[in-house]
Structure 1
Amino acid sequence: MFLQTEGDELIETLKWVKENLAAKVEELANVIITCYKNGGKVILMGNGGSAGDAQHIAAEFVGRYKLERGSFPALALNTNTSTITAVGNDYSYDDVFSRQVEGFAQKDDVVIGISTSGNSKNVYKALESAKKKGCYTAAFLGKDGGTIKNIVDLDLTVKSNNTPRVQECHIFMAHSMCDLVDRALYDFVHGKKN
């Protein structure tokens, strides 16, 4: 019974995402496609489970999603423990991502924050830094989108207070985005599209 209840809730949340956020997922995919065609990169970050999602998405771009193709530049800022602990110790945990954005991001890169609450201060500060550098900013969020919703170019807010459902929908949207990017750039590289 427990699994059925959880499954039913997930299905309902995914239906809501499909009806309300599909166009935004496609919009983000198109921005990333343009970024990659112009030699840019994707930078991601999050805390806890969202950190795992940031790594997962970066791996789909650097490795491959489904198609055999070249590597796309993407990095998750939560993977370098030496940088995170140094910045956290010398500055503040709120600065662990923004300092890295200052060092790695370039104009027209795509910077994506992931926060199930929408209020992760370190993600907020990193996205603020990214905007100052001229990057396109997006965020996978939950609940009402929190403070982060108000500062990004594109928010993908799953309107749910249930963190596991939000995270499941985040990775569903991310996989959909990766698939769109994969297919478009595969065709571009192989001369099938302009």
Structure 2
Amino acid sequence: MSSLFLRNLAEHQQLMAALHTLEPAVQSAGQQLARILDAGGKLFFCGNGGSAADSQHLASELTGRFIKDRRPLAGIALSTDSSALTCIGNDYAFDQVFARQLMALARAGDGLIAISTSGNSGNVLRAVEAAKTLGVFTLGLLGRDGGQLGQLCDEAIVVPHQVTARIQEAHILIGHTLCGLIESELGLD
């Protein structure tokens, strides 16, 4: 019997080998996100748990740097303001924590990267619905079959796997690729 590490590694390698089919969607999304930033827009990120951490990680790759020193890019993770999250969660509902922030901060022409391994997170769904009313482009970074978000987002990148950990591993690869594509499209690489 192989170790847990070797089983996880085999599962990871099998998924990574299948991700080439997502290349057109990743390329298209990277170009769209670069256009938003080039026009002076902002990119917002949201997700729960590990996807919240991924949101923070990817936003920081934009405001800080990804590969090379370059000008900062507008990336904002909606999961980082504990006062806003607890205020909105308490006064309204947890499924409004991202939508209300987005309604306050986003403008037409901005972008929202909605990260959900199930594609069915209520607060992420509400954020995408709010984004649509504002004229904000929505990109779903999803797993499994894409869930409800797969149909709701303007574009969706769906990692076809059932295991949350493997989906999250793929999301970081895809997120890093999006950051690289943004830098390349903007001539910042």
TM-score tier after normalising by the smaller chain length? over 0.9
Unaligned runs of 5+ in 2: none
Q: Which residue of 2 aligns with 1:152?
A: 153
Q: Deviations over 1:91-150 (max 9, x none)?
A: 000100000110011111110110111100000000010011111101111111111111
Whether the aligned pair in 2 keeps the contact of 1:58 and 1:75 (CA below 8 Å) is yes
Deviation, 1:3, is 1.6
Aligned sequence identity (%): 37
Matched-pair contact (CA < 8 Å) for 1:111–1:130: yes
- Extract structure 1 runs of 4+ deviating beyond 6 A: none
Give the structure 1 partner of residue 85 of structure 2: 84
Alpha-carbon separation, structure 1, partners of 2:173 and 2:153: 21
- Structure 1 spans left out of the alignment, 5+ residues: 189-194
Report what 1:36 is aligned to.
Answer: 37
Return the alpha-carbon distance in structure 2 between the equivalents of residues 106 and 28 of structure 1. 19
TM-superposed deviation, 1:187: 4.6
Task: Choose the corresponding residue for 2:9, options 7, 10, 15.
Answer: 7
Sort the Cα spacing of 1:64 and 1:35 in 2 relative to 1 into closer, same or farther, 3 A: same
The answer (yes or no) to whether the contact 2:96–2:127 under 8 Å persists in 1 is yes
**Given the superposition, is the C-alpha separation of residues 89 and 73 from structure 1 closer, same or farther in structure 2, using an over 3 Å criterion?**
same
Asked if the contact 1:69–1:186 (Cα under 8 Å) also holds between the matched residues in 2, the reply is no
Specify the alignment match of 2:108 in structure 1. 107
Q: What letter is aligned with 2:117?
A: T
1:55 paired residue number: 56
Deviation at 1:12? Answer: 1.1
Cα deviation, residue 184, structure 1: 2.5
Aligned-residue offset at 1:183:
2.2
Query: Which whole-Å CA distance do the structure 2 matches of 1:63 and 1:132 have between them?
Result: 30
| Alpha-carbon contact 2:70-2:188 (below 8 Å) kept | no
**Amino acid in structure 2 at the alignment position of 1:91:** Y
User: Which digits, 9 at most, give the CA deviation of each residue in 1:15-72, with x for residues without a partner?
Assistant: 2112x21111111110111111100010000000000000000000000100110000
* 3-state DSSP of counterpart to 2:186: helix
Q: Distance in 1 between matches of 2:111 and 2:153?
A: 11
State the secondary structure of the residue aligned to 1:96: helix
CA distance in 1, matches of 2:107, 2:140: 18
Take 2:16 and 2:5, find their aligned partners in 1: how far apart are those partners?
A: 16
Equivalent AA in structure 2 for residue 149 of structure 1: G
- Provide the residue aligned with 1:95 in structure 2: 96
CA distance in 1, matches of 2:34, 2:146: 25
Q: Does the 8 Å contact 1:67/1:186 carry over to 2?
A: no
| RMSD over aligned Cα atoms | 1.1
Distance across 1 between alignment mates of 2:113 and 2:104: 16
1:186 offset after TM fit, Å? 3.2
- In structure 1, the residue matched to 2:70 is 69
The number of residue pairs the alignment matches comes to 187
Amino acid at match of 1:4: L
Q: 1:192 matched to which residue of 2?
A: none
Distance 1:187 1:159 in 2: 31
Q: TM-score, structure 2 length as denominator?
A: 0.96
